[in-house]
Amino acid sequence: MLTFFVSSSCKKEDKQPKNTTTKLFTFNSLESEHNEINQGNVTRITAKVTGEATYEWTCSSGDLFGSGNSILFGAGSCCKGDHYIYCNVKDKNNNSESKSILIKVN
């Protein structure tokens, strides 16, 4: 009877659900048209991603305009200095990856 129990237990383990956390995208790079801009100007920042994903953008200061894989970063008169723009990419399996880029504002 003990041998039967062990055999039954092994069969249960074999019926585990398949892995559903497969990453559905590759975050290749985060690129900016200009790495240095003057106050009052903007630069386009693009997330180069292959596959299905959603995008969340944030910045240390300044303004972000747009959505999706490409946005504009704007720096007003208050924003002289170094600024990091962050992009978090996420798929429907809740896999995520983040990258950042530095923009210098003169």
Structural domains of the chain, with CATH: 23-105 (2.60.40.1080)
pTM, rounded to two decimals: 0.77
Q: 36, 35, 32: which is closest to 46 by C-alpha?
A: 32
Q: Is the pLDDT of residue 74 over 90?
A: yes
How large is the average pLDDT for residues 51-63?
94
- Of the pLDDT bands very low, low, confident and very high (cuts 50, 70, 90), residue 15 is low
How large is the average pLDDT for residues 69-78?
92
Residue count of the chain: 106
pLDDT at residue 4, rounded to an integer: 42
* Cα dist from 73 to 25, 50, 62, 81, 99, whole Å: 24, 23, 7, 14, 15
Site of tokens 């959505």: 67
